Amino acid sequence: KTSAVELAQDALRQAGEQSRLNAFVDIRDDLTLQQAKAADARMGAGETGALLGIPTAHKDIFVTQGWTSTAGSKMLAGYQSPFDAEVVSRLNAAGAVSIGKLNCDEFAMGSSNEKSAYGPCLNPWDTLAVPGGSSGGSAVAVAAGVVPFSTGTDTGGSIRQPASLCGITGIKPTYGSCSRYGMIAYASSLDQAGPMAHSARDCALVLNTMVGFDAKDSTSVQRPTPDEDFTASFGKPLRTGNAAKPLAGVRVGLPCEFFGEGLAADVRAPIDAALKQLEAMGAALVNISLPRTELSIPAYYVIAPAEASSNLSRFDGVRYGHRAAEYSDLKSMYENSRSEGFGLEVQRRIMVGAYVLSHGYYDAYYLQAQKIRRLIAQDFQAAFQQCDFIAGPVSPTVAWNLGEKSADPVQMYLADIYTLSTSLAGLPGMSVPVGFGDKNRPVGMQLIGNYFKEGELLALADHYQ
């Protein structure tokens, strides 16, 4: 039997050997070994638990005691949090052993992990390729075999898309399921934490610990089934099926907008093959429509920056983070601190957000975007009249090359087309690896369920896996 200390040492060694991938932004062997020893003591006392002694690592958007918490930004370089994020506390309490903090796009704004102040993170399948983002480090640490699971956050696709581009499994649960307490805020009405791992089963085991009501988060939900075991439906027929056809009676909706122009052929082929497998297990594939899919991009890229401009106003060089060395008065201290501390993409979003919220533009942009958001959520409910789950791609292409899209923000935003609507509606969505596209780069299939259906969603993915 391997001890938690041995597992932790092995993970730390792996992290060192794979340091070229730049997945980790802070490693503290002493803290890791302290956690591992505590886990061994608990096991020695006869305690058991799915996560007890298992190595993990946290996206650097979660604040942690001991390790630095930077959100991938120079603004928070060296920042030490006096407390742990709720999700981290829950995993610590379950005995998971943290190997360190994981690289991400600055304040979780990005789709390629190239916008981190600590340098890009590389895709372990092909180091010329981006790992996706913003939870790039979280995907890479798992895909490269450093840790069996990690934490990520998803505001508009940041768990699902890097999971897809790195060939692992990741789930964004229903908005409000996992506490946002201690998650450095990007767009609060969209931000949601979730697990990233090799399989749906591993994700389910981690999610069991991550979810739960938290009075410290004003949008935390009291789950309909508070102590749901997300593995409960695993291995059983999901509806009316039997062992031979476990998916009989399950309707999987294919939105025509997810399979149209813009979806690369090399991504479509493995997804089509995966859908055939679901059919062979008894699922019925039904054509559906999510007519406002295209509008999810402008709606999201108004709402998310609007919320970001408000959330990031707390970084003023006074209470947190970077303070410019030179300034002449309070205003120039704010200006210099913020323009030095924030990267260009973050500054762009703050400016867009402040613009769409300003008097005279609020009705034209922000209010319109909120209306579209409601309609998108309604479209999903109409679709769920016709099907139990929705399937499609996560990303229109396989991982692109480093630098390929980084100069053109709009190109980068367009790549989020299949993930944003789920986020705007607050629905659970996941990425399941289904094969490889061009250049042998991984492809993920997205599975979307209705609110609080993550147990069934994970079971469906497990049947496929």
Helix 454-464 and helix 265-280: axis angle, to 10°? 100
- Binding to ligand GLN by CB under 6 A, coded x per residue (else -) over 316-345, reads ------------------------------
Nearer to ligand GLN, 4 or 71 (CB): 71
**Catalytic residue flag (residue 59):** yes
Return all residues near 180 (Cβ < 8 A) that are at least 6 apart. Answer: 86, 188, 191, 192, 193, 217, 219, 220
Binding window for ligand GLN (CB under 6 A); candidates: 148-156, 177-185, 243-251, 456-464: 148-156
Our finding on whether 69 is near ligand GLN (CB under 6 A) is no
Catalytic residue among 73, 81, 158, 177: 158
Q: Which listed residue (158, 199, 421, 446) binds ligand GLN by CB under 6 A? A: 158
Residue 423 corresponds to which tokens in the numbers above? 């986020």
Q: Using the structure block, give the residue that is written with the tokens 């089963």.
A: 201
Which residue lies nearer to ligand GLN by CB, 94 or 369?
369
Interface with ligand GLN, residue 60, by CB under 6 A: no
CB of 259 to ligand GLN, least distance (A): 21
Catalytic residue among 81, 134, 138, 337: 134
Q: CA 389 to CA 456: how far, in whole Å?
A: 9
Minimum CB–partner distance for residue 276 and ligand GLN (Å): 30
295 binds ligand GLN (CB under 6 A): no
Candidate list 70, 89, 123, 134; residue touching ligand GLN; CB under 6 A:
134
When asked if residue 431 is in the footprint of ligand GLN (CB under 6 A), the reply is: no
416 binds ligand GLN (CB under 6 A): yes
Of residues 108 and 147, the one with the C-beta less far from ligand GLN: 108
* Span of 87-95, 104-112, 264-272, 274-282 interacting with ligand GLN by CB under 6 A: 104-112
Nearer to ligand GLN, 109 or 205 (CB): 109
| In the complex, minimum distance from the CB of residue 158 to ligand GLN, in angstroms, rounded to a whole number | 3
Q: Is 110 in the site for ligand GLN (CB under 6 A)?
A: yes
Task: Tell me whether residue 233 is one of the annotated catalytic residues.
Answer: no
As a three-state string, the secondary structure of the chain is CCCHHHHHHHHHHHHHHCHHHCCEEECCHHHHHHHHHHHHHHHHCCCCCCCCCCEEEEECCECCCCCCCCCCCHHHCCCCCCCCCHHHHHHHHCCCEEEEEECCCHHHCCCCCCCCCCCCCCCCCCCCECCCCCCHHHHHHHHCCCCCEEEEEECCCCCHHHHHHHCCEEEECCCCCECCCCECCCCCCCCEEEEEECCHHHHHHHHHHHECCCCCCCCCCCCCCCCCCCCCCCCCCCCCCCCCCCCCCCEEEEEHHHCCCCCCHHHHHHHHHHHHHHHHCCCEEEEECCCCHHHHHHHHHHHHHHHHHHHHHHCCCCCCCCCCCCCCCHHHHHHHHHHHHCCHHHHHHHHHHHHHHCCCCHHHHHHHHHHHHHHHHHHHHHHCCCCCEEEEECCCCCCCECCCCCCCHHHHHHCCCCCHHHHHHCCCEEEEEEEECHHHCEEEEEEEECCCCHHHHHHHHHHHC
Does 154 engage in binding with ligand GLN (CB under 6 A)?
Answer: yes
Which member of 8, 109, 129, 283 binds ligand GLN (CB under 6 A)? 109
Out of 98, 111, 336, 406, name the contact with ligand GLN by CB under 6 A.
111
Candidates 118, 160, 166; CA nearest to 144 is 166
CA distance 456 to 460: 6
State the minimum distance, in angstroms, from the CB of residue 380 to ligand GLN: 18
How many other C-beta atoms lie within 10 A of the C-beta of residue 284?
Answer: 15
Single out the segment in contact with ligand GLN by CB under 6 A; choices: 109-117, 206-214, 247-255, 286-294.
109-117
- If the CB atoms of residues 137 and 157 are measured against ligand GLN, the closer one turns out to be 157
CB of 410 to ligand GLN, least distance (A): 12
Q: How near is the Cβ of 440 to ligand GLN at its closest, in Å?
A: 24
Minimum CB separation of residue 398 from ligand GLN in Å reads: 17
**In this complex, which beta carbon is closest to ligand GLN, that of residue 300 or of residue 384?**
300
Q: Which of 97, 108, 196, 254 binds ligand GLN (CB under 6 A)?
A: 108
Active site (annotated) includes residue 81: no
- Nearer to ligand GLN by C-beta: 40 or 106? 106
> How many chain residues are in contact with ligand GLN, going by CB under 6 A?
13
Question: Among all residues, which ones are annotated catalytic?
Answer: 59, 134, 158
What residues make contact with ligand GLN under the rule CB under 6 A? Answer: 108-111, 134, 154-158, 186, 304, 416
